[in-house]
Amino acid sequence: MAAPAQAEPRPGRTTTGPAPRGPGPRGNVVDYLFEHSAAPGLAGRAAHRLDGGDVSYRDLHARVCRAGNALKRLGLAPGDRVMMSLLDGPDFVAVFLGGMKMGAVTLPINTMLKPKDYLYYLNDSEAKAVVIDASLVTAIDAIKSELKTVRHILVAGPRVPGYASLDTALAAESPELETLPRDPDDMAFWLYSSGSTGDPKGVVHTHAHIYWATELFGLTMLRIAAGDVILCPPKMFFAYGLGNQVYFPIRAGATVVVNQGPITPKRIWELWLKHQPTIVMSVPTLFAAQAQIAEQELGRERVAEACKRLRFCVCGGEILPPALYQRWKDFTGTEILDAIGTTEMTHMFTFNRPGEAVPGSCGKIVDGYRYEILDDAGQPVPQGEIGNLHVMGPTAATAYWNKPDKTEQVMGRGGVLTGDKVFEDERGNIFLVGRSDDMLRVGAIWVSPAEVEGALATHPAVMECAVVGHPDENQMIKPKAFVVLRDPARAGEALAAEIKEHVRARLAHIKCPRWIEFVGELPKTATGKIQRFRLRG
């Protein structure tokens, strides 16, 4: 699939960073990633630090090769899609990179979805194989008869009757696999991105995108090295967690502390205290919850011990409130460096440099990228005015799979029109103020108000509803629902709790409204469109 032409920005205010450094990508990116860490000098180092013990780079690379061989044995050919919904850890990396190594295209998917979501992703991608955690077998059972292209299902973890075991498949294969040569612009992996309207979109990424994200952000901005111990609670199936836990550390030979279970503030502090990471990558919601535990339960002495090797923290996914930045720095003595990244741009493209952080901003453009801030007509706005962020660089997605109209809308100028509303100050710091659509960023996950409203509307008591973002006690944005009832007399806490459970049974937990406010009517335009901006006040 050809990439859109990389158009030059229109005349006006455009910021250009230095050109990308390095020799440029060569062939299949898996060889680049393991070039140093699988070599004798680093192969014995811990790649993953798990509750059950360490996994060395030697063993991780062997598992990647076994996975590639297993997919070849199933009859997968170069370019075939392999969807994967796996817990963080060696199996995730093995399938993700093993598929690429033998020429397939791998598609990491959230492990917390509903059966209808998996059905859409599998059929839309035309996946030939799917590798899932054992906990998802029930979800796949519910949709097996409707799968159009899936020929093979492998299950990781405990063996499940009637399903092929990933462990068994890997054990039967060689720990060596010759890498299939790939052009840097060939498809390597997809990530699915939701939108405010329409179905989720398959974001197509190439081998070159991993290379440049690693070179420009992981190695140059974060300066990840073999001595680093990385703790990144966001899961590997997110673009944010994928770079931080998979391709950045593998190229550098760093160690990743892997949390295979649910993300809770206490669990992350447990890992933090035990492993004393040198870099922590997280999201504002979790930093806020951890700050509260640090202040109320751990105390300065234990936190100082946990942070004694910490170089800095990295933040993404949501706007980091300046008050939280200062609160964290005052208590821990370390900075949280905020940044912007998108699924379409592979990873981060702005960053607050260590020692130069500007609270409230998302930092400056990363070297190797360019950006414009445009009005709704596509013209650059003056410095200080709010506009739409358009980013160009060597990690920009080539297309949305089978969605040419959306591809043209977002990527038609070259680069990516991110959908973020921003402004910049006189020093080139970028400040994120919201979205050009109604999407919410909740705990680093995109939430579509329309999707939540659709689930709310299926409750028999609901006549009309609207969902907006609302700050919680830590100034983190969460969904809030305004509901017009068929019978206003039923309004009350009991019904609100019932409606929340109704939504939770249909959508991922994080999409459930934190608050439900019953109202007599919703504000609308003369044409009947709900005015969400009036509900945000």
Q: What is the pLDDT of residues 107-137, one digit of tens each?
A: 999 998 999 999 999 999 999 999 999 999 9
Per-residue confidence (pLDDT) for residue 439, from 0 to 100: 67
The average pLDDT across 374-387 equals 89
299, containing H or E segment: helix 299-306
CA diameter of the chain: 72
Q: Reply yes or no on whether the pLDDT at 207 is more than 90.
A: yes
**pLDDT tens for residues 56-114?**
999 999 999 999 999 999 999 999 999 999 999 999 999 999 999 999 999 999 998 99
The average pLDDT across 167-185 equals 97
Instruction: Classify each residue of 69-81 as buried b or exposed e, where b means 16 or more C-beta atoms within 10 Å of its C-beta.
Output: bbbbebebeeebb
448-535 sits in which CATH class? alpha beta
Q: What is the pTM of this model?
A: 0.82
Q: Reply yes or no on whether the pLDDT at 194 is more than 90.
A: no
The average pLDDT across 274-299 equals 91
Per-residue confidence (pLDDT) for residue 440, from 0 to 100: 75
Per-residue confidence (pLDDT) for residue 13, from 0 to 100: 46
- Edge to edge, the sheet with strand 370-374 lists 14-16, 370-374, 387-392, 416-424, 430-435
Confidence of residue 323 (pLDDT cuts 50, 70, 90): confident
The average pLDDT across 387-397 equals 95
The average pLDDT across 336-353 equals 96
Do the first three CATH levels of 28-182 and 231-435 match, i.e. the same topology? yes
* Residue-level length of the chain: 537
In this structure, which topology does domain 231-435 adopt according to CATH? Answer: Rossmann fold (3.40.50)
Catalogue the E-assigned strands of 286-330: 312-315
The whole-chain average pLDDT of the chain stands at 90
First to last CA, the chain: 44
Per-residue confidence (pLDDT) for residue 521, from 0 to 100: 86
Q: Reply yes or no on whether the pLDDT at 498 is more than 90.
A: yes
**pLDDT tens for residues 237-282?**
999 999 999 999 999 999 999 999 998 999 999 999 999 999 999 9
What is the dihedral sign for C-alpha 121, 123, 129, 131? Answer: positive
Domain boundaries, the chain: 28-182, 231-435, 448-535
User: What is the distance, to the nearest Å, from the Cα of residue 118 to the centroid of all Cα atoms in its chain?
Assistant: 17
Q: Which CATH number fits domain 28-182: 3.40.250.10, 3.40.710.10, 2.40.30.10, 3.40.50.980?
A: 3.40.50.980
Please report the DSSP string for 232-244 in residue order. --S-TTSHHHHII
Q: Reply yes or no on whether the pLDDT at 52 is more than 60.
A: yes
CA distance 381 to 286: 34
**pLDDT tens for residues 1-46?**
333 333 343 333 455 556 565 667 889 999 999 999 999 999 999 9
Per-residue confidence (pLDDT) for residue 12, from 0 to 100: 35
